[in-house]
Structures are given as C-alpha cells and as structure tokens.
Amino acid sequence: MSGREASGLGGCWSAASIWRGAPLLSARLKLRLLTTADAPRLAELANDPEVVRHTANIPHPYTEADALGFITNQDNRRLAGLGVVLGLERSLDRHLIGCMGIGLDGDGTPELGYWLGRAYWGEGYGTEALRRLCRHLFADLGYEGVWAAVHPDNTGSMRVLEKVGFIAAGRHDCAMPARGGCIVDSPKFQLTAQDWRTHHAARPMLLVAAAALIDADGRVLMASRPPGKSMSGLWEFPGGKVQAGETPEMALVRELAEELGIDVGESCLAAMAFASHDYDTFHLLMPLYAIRQWRGEPQAREGQMLKWVRASGLAALPMPPADIPLVALLREWL
Ligand SMILES: Nc1nc2c([nH]c(=O)n2[C@@H]2O[C@H](COP(=O)(O)OP(=O)(O)OP(=O)(O)O)[C@@H](O)[C@H]2O)c(=O)[nH]1
C-alpha cells in the first residue's frame, strides 16, 4: 500500500480547488471568492459604462443591490457546480480590482469571463490573473480546454487571451441580456490543456539567493521592490539572481554589497530555508540564508525602501507569493 493510500485522508494529495473556495496567488494578485462584504466595491468598479459595454450580463447603471444579487447568485452556482467567479484582489493594498470566472453551462468545457475596473487597465493584471487561473484549471483540476467569446470591439480582451496562448476558434453567437437582448456574432478563442502544458513547460528556472539579515533585537531587514520592477511595492528579502559561474553564496555576497552597501563573509551565511515557487512565467528556486553579522550600515542603493521588521509584523507585509511560506520558518530564527 502506498503512503497515499495508507493515509486515506486526502490532505496534501488533494489539490486546492476554487470550487471549494481555495484562493489562487499570482505575483501581484489573490484570486478569491467574493463575499457580500465586497458588494460596495464591486458596484463602484462595475458602475462604469466603459467597463460593462462589452459584457453580456452587467447592467448599467449598476448598484450595490445588483452586486449583492450577483455575489449570492454566483455562490449558489458554485455550490451547484455550474461556475465559479473569483474576485481579483491586489496583494499590495488588498483592493478588489475586477473579476474573473468560469461557467460550465455548455458542454462542460469551462467558458471564461472577466473584467477589470478601468483604473487597472493596461498594467498586465488581466494576463496575470488568466495565466494563474488557466494553470489551476489544467494542472490542478484536469480540464482539457477552456474557451472564451469576446465582443468584436473588445481588442484589449483579445490581446489578453492571445498573450496567454489562446488561439482563434471560429465564432460564437453571444446573447447580451444586459445590452438590450441583442445577439452579437463574436470571435471565439480557446486554449487546450496540451497547448498550455507545452507553453508552461518552456518557462525558465530562476535561481535567486536571498538574505534574512537579523539584527541584535531579532528584527529582519525587508526591502520593497522599487517602482518599475515586477511586483513593485511588495516587500522581499534582499538578494538577487545567481549569475553564471557563481554559487548562491557568492551571488548573495555580491548582491548585498551592490544593493545595501554591506560587506558579508560567506562563512556568515547560514542556510535557513528555500522557496520553490511556480510563477506563471518562470519557476523560482530561492535559498534563504540567515545572516547575523555584517560590516557597514545597510543603505537603500537601488531605489528600494528598507525596513527592520519584528517577527510579529512580518505576516502583515504584502510580499511576493514565494516568500509567504518562508515567513513561518523565519519566525523560528528571530
Ligand atoms: N531578491 C528577492 N527576489 C525575490 C524574492 N521573492 C521573489 O519572488 N523574488 C523574485 O526573484 C527575482 C529576483 O531577481 P532580482 O531581484 O535579481 O531581479 P530584479 O529585481 O531585477 O527582478 P526582475 O528581473 O523581475 O525585474 C524576481 O523576479 C523577484 O520577483 C525575495 O524575497 N527576494
């Protein structure tokens, strides 16, 4: 009997599922179920003619009562196995910025739908959320394909689908109950599990060495990712990519000198933990070293902000998703 059969408990063997309410984390977003507490924010975002003009079911104007009805209805559909809608929450400020979901009303192949508040267009959030959702649909839930029909004027949405690897797959007559009941002949796009696997398998592995610098008061130094970089504003451990010919230790000593202006001896690095995290465009392998001795005062040399944080304050900091499991391990060292 294998360990899996012997346990009989599911546990880590059963993939988290959006159908059961598990959230999905991407680099900058948390894709999570909506609750009735989201109704005011949802109404604020969706009560915008520019946002809803290409959607089939969102009326204009759109009120808080509409949002409450939508959230309750979607929860019932999820419990009935008909579809799941996820709110897109930005990790940096925990603001809801839009919605993305699937419906199984047709032949059982998930149909995709999404929209973003206007203030969040053009920043790659739709692509990021869609990549994360597709990975869940194929890698965790075992669907064989997913499709979407897009209003012919909605070029932004078509671009998002194409960036994630969807390809044109004919036309679809879209009923638009909230747009006067018209039927719109719309381009249809699809992505198969096989195409997604090929695409996903080609992503690079990135080796990054990172440091938990711990001071005499048991605080750890966190750095904010500078504006203009990926995941900007999130708090991370100082460090960086291991370059060709370097060991992780050499890379970290170099990075700490460049980023913080401090001098660390390789013998002062204590391997503490590692993150192995599947971002949608690369796989991150990141050893984390505890460091209690260094020369010099850390300075922000690359436009980042620095902050010494106590164990109790770490969990509240918005971090890249790869770092979240490291926080619990780090607390043992502080
Ligand atoms: N240094 C560091 N990088 C992290 C952490 N967590 C995490 O996901 N990363 C990711 O690992 C990569 C670090 O590479 P880097 O620090 O040399 O690269 P970079 O800022 O120039 O990033 P970029 O190439 O994404 O703009 C980034 O993609 C970053 O998002 C962390 O705690 N520390």
ipTM value of the model? 0.94
pLDDT tens digit sequence for 50-90: 988 888 888 899 999 999 999 999 999 999 999 999 999 99
Class for domain 205-331, per CATH? alpha beta
* Amino acid at the residue 80: A
Query: Which tokens belong to 187?
Result: 């381009």
For 14-201, the fitting CATH number among 3.30.2010.10, 1.20.1740.10, 3.40.50.970, 3.40.630.30 is: 3.40.630.30
How much distance in Å is there from the Cα of 284 to the middle of ligand 1?
A: 9
Tokens standing for residue 62: 């759109």
Residues spanned by CATH 3.40.630.30 within the chain? 14-201
Give the mean pLDDT per block of 10 residues along the chain (334 residues): 46 85 97 98 95 86 96 97 97 97 91 96 96 97 96 93 96 87 92 95 96 97 94 97 98 98 97 95 97 98 96 94 94 88
Tokens found for residue 148 = 């979407």
Angle ∠(140,141,146) on CA atoms, nearest 5 = 115
pTM: 0.91
What is the best residue among 91, 224, 236, 306 to mutate for testing ligand 1's pocket, by most ligand atoms within 8 Å of CB? 236
Residue with tokens 């018209």: 182
pLDDT tens digits along 87-100: 999 999 999 999 99
**Element at 316 (helix H, strand E):** none
- Protein residue closest via CA to atom 28 of ligand 1: 230
Q: Is the dihedral of CA 324, 325, 328, 331 positive or negative?
A: negative
Atom of ligand 1 nearest to the CA of 326: 32
- Ligand 1: distance of its center to the CA of 127 in Å? 20
CATH 3.90.79.10 domain position(s) in the chain: 205-331
Q: Read off the DSSP letter of residue 65.
A: H
Whole-number Å distance, alpha carbon 209 to ligand 1 midpoint, is: 9
